[in-house]
Homo-oligomer: A and B are copies of this chain.
Amino acid sequence: MQMGKVIGLAIATRKDERLVGTKLLITQPISMDGSLIGQPIIAVDTVGAGIGELVIFVTGSVAARAMSKPEAPCDAAIVGIIDSIEGLSG
């Protein structure tokens, strides 16, 4: 899993039918201090996440397991909302 921040929403009327009704959140990986790193991906929301929230997302074939349609062609899903991070100091 990776830590990410939801930074946007993608609207796509024409899409695979198993993705209809999903919320497609643009999510960018973050580092330990919360700064944005890497490139944003589109993850299906499965936990009620919203723009601006810090989340846990999975990628690859296991992502679809979190959906109500686990056979969907989906390779990224948000599976948790981060409450807090405890880390090594320094």
Contacts and interface: CB of A to CB of B under 8 A. Distances in A.
Interface string A1-40: 1110001111111111001000010100101100001111
B64 A62 contact: yes
Interface in A37-58: 37-44, 46-48, 51-52, 56, 58
A73 B75 CA distance: 11
Copies of this chain in its oligomeric complex = 5
Contact of A88 (B41, B43, B51, B82): B51
Contacts of A66: 16, 73
B3 A86 contact: no
A38 B66 CA distance: 27
A62 B65 contact: no
